[in-house]
């Protein structure tokens, strides 16, 4: 047996953060929707449709995320601060408490964590839906994890982080995995359900805050996980208006991010029929758009992954 207990990977004040997060639910501003409602009283008035509990609707040891964070224990939490009409998880974001989702509780969490560490998990990924709307419940279970079981945390988020969430997340998250979905305000309004939210400004502010001072060391996995991964899903018909402007902006503004271009768009979002003006979204990604996006990203010198590899 080691003479020294393993060093804690997470901040020592998780119990205090848990309590502060529970208090913040009394007038919730965990995301920029700024609802200000009391989630301890239930989900009424909460844009995310969540009360105080989080609900896990899927979990697995994933080898399919970015290679630099895997294998990762992936926990899907229901509820979201957006309504992307191409979302394949639509049922889980619009009915977050419906089966098969189960409340996130410490007993279940610690058992599954031990199992996945035994299976080789290298990190712990919270995804959704959107993890930030579930932050209070996440901190509640993390506060019960012993130091020996603390894995680096990946926060797989839409980038909409409220002012009350920042001090709770800082130094807890090892890797920010931010979905940068669209460039233009019109696309955010039409496709993301973000018409009453300045999606572009909010997600850019998040990226500014978490962008690291130095480039990632992807060729040396022993150095650990990257600080920032920007995921961008290539969508059919959106190359010129959304993808290419975003790639140029990333090169200028967030050059130390790892950039993962996701090329396997599936036109199966159950709400896609609400987008009659964008028929391209009901098709697969044309190969020439894929090739062009990858070519531009390479020309720009981004720290590029394609479908996580
Ligand atoms: S997490 Fe966001 S959407 Fe949900 S109640 Fe809080 S402010 Fe509203």
The residue ranking higher by pLDDT, 281 or 113, is 113
Cβ atoms 151, 117 nearer than 8 A: yes
Query: How confident is residue 267, by pLDDT bands cut at 50, 70 and 90?
Result: confident
Helical (H) or strand (E) element with 73: strand 72-77
Q: What are the boundaries of each domain within the chain? A: 54-306
Four-CA torsion 82, 87, 91, 93, nearest 10 degrees:
-20
Sign of CA dihedral 303, 301, 159, 215: positive
CB within 8 A of 167, min separation 6: which ones?
20
Partners of residue 72 on adjacent β-strands: 62, 123
Which of 36, 41, 43, 46 maximizes ligand 1 atoms within 8 Å of its Cβ, making it the mutation to test the pocket? Answer: 46
The full DSSP string for 186-230 is HHHHHHHS-TTS-HHHHHHHHHHHH--SS---TT-GGG---SEEE
**Rounded-to-integer distance, Cα 235 and Cα 289, Å:** 9
> Residue 97: its pLDDT value, please?
95
Average pLDDT for residues 99-106, to the nearest whole number?
96
For ligand 1, the distance from its centroid to the CA atom of residue 163, given in whole angstroms, is 11
Instruction: Tell me what the mean pLDDT of segment 185-206 comes to.
Output: 93
* Average pLDDT estimate for 233-240: 96
Query: Which token pair is 198?
Result: 């300045």
Which residues have C-beta within 8 Å of that of residue 68, sequence separation ≥ 6? 216, 218, 221, 225, 226, 229, 258, 305
The Å distance, Cα 110 to ligand 1 centre, comes to: 27
Confidence of residue 183 (pLDDT cuts 50, 70, 90): very high
Residue 17 CA to residue 11 CA, distance in Å, equals 10
Q: How many CB atoms lie within 10 A of CB 62?
A: 18
Taking alpha carbons only, the member of 92, 96, 91, 93 closest to residue 83 is 93
Closest CA to 48 of 97, 101, 1: 97
Average pLDDT over residues 192-200: 90
Q: Whose CA is nearest to atom 1 of ligand 1?
A: 133
Kindly report the number of other CB atoms within 10 A of residue 27's CB atom: 13
More confident residue, 307 or 280: 307
Quickly name the fold that domain 54-306 has. Answer: TIM Barrel (3.20.20)
Q: Closest Cα to atom 8, ligand 1: which residue?
A: 35
- Cβ neighbors of 162 (< 8 A, separation 6 or more) are 29, 30, 31, 32, 33, 34, 132
Q: Which residues lie with the beta carbon below 6 Å from any ligand 1 atom?
A: 28-31, 33-35, 37, 39, 46-48, 50, 81, 133, 162
Q: Rounded CA gap, 20 and 87, in Å? A: 32
- Percent over 90 (pLDDT), the chain: 85
Evaluate the omega torsion of the peptide bond into residue 66 and state whether it is cis, within 30 degrees of 0: no
Q: What is the mean pLDDT of residues 60-69?
A: 95
Q: What is the pLDDT of residue 7?
A: 62
Q: Which two tokens stand for residue 31?
A: 């995301």
Which whole number is the average pLDDT over 267-292?
Answer: 85
pLDDT at 2: 44
Q: Which ligand 1 atom minimizes the distance to the CA of 39? A: 5
* Cα 81 to middle of ligand 1, angstroms: 7
**What 8-state DSSP symbol labels residue 97?**
T
Contact between residue 66 and residue 260 where contact means Cβ atoms under 8 Å apart: yes
pLDDT range class, residue 1, cuts 50, 70, 90: very low
Query: What is the pLDDT at residue 193?
Result: 85
The model carries a pTM of 0.95
pLDDT at position 274 is: 72
Q: Give the separation between CA 146 and CA 149, rounded to whole angstroms.
A: 6
């Amino acid at each position: 047996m080691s003479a020294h207990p393993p060093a804690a990977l997470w901040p020592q004040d998780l119990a205090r953060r848990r309590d502060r997060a529970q208090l913040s639910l009394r007038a919730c501003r965990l995301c920029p929707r700024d609802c200000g409602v009391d989630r301890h009283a239930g989900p009424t008035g909460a844009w995310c449709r969540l009360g105080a509990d989080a609900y896990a609707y899927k979990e697995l040891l994933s080898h399919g995320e970015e290679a630099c964070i895997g294998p990762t224990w992936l926990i899907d939490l229901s509820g979201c601060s957006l309504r992307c009409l191409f979302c394949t998880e639509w049922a889980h974001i619009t009915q977050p408490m419906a089966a098969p989702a189960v409340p996130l509780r410490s007993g279940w969490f610690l058992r599954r964590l031990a199992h996945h560490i035994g299976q080789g998990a290298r990190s712990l990924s919270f995804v959704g839906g959107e993890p930030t709307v579930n932050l209070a419940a996440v901190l509640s279970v993390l506060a019960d994890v012993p130091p020996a079981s603390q894995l680096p945390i990946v926060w797989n988020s839409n980038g909409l982080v409220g002012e009350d969430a920042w001090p709770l997340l800082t130094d807890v998250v090892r890797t920010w995995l931010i979905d940068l979905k669209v460039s233009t305000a019109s696309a955010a309004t039409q496709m993301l359900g973000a018409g009453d939210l300045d999606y572009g400004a909010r997600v850019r502010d998040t990226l500014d805050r978490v962008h690291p001072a130095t480039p990632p060391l992807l060729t040396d996995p022993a150095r650990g996980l990257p600080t920032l991964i920007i995921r961008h899903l290539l969508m059919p018909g959106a190359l010129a208006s959304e993808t290419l402007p975003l790639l140029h902006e990333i090169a200028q503004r967030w050059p130390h991010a790892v950039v993962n271009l996701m090329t396997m768009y599936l036109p199966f979002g159950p709400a896609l029929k609400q987008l009659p003006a964008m028929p391209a979204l009901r098709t697969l990604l044309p190969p020439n758009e894929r090739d062009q996006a990858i070519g531009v990203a390479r020309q720009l010198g981004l720290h590029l992954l394609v479908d996580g590899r």
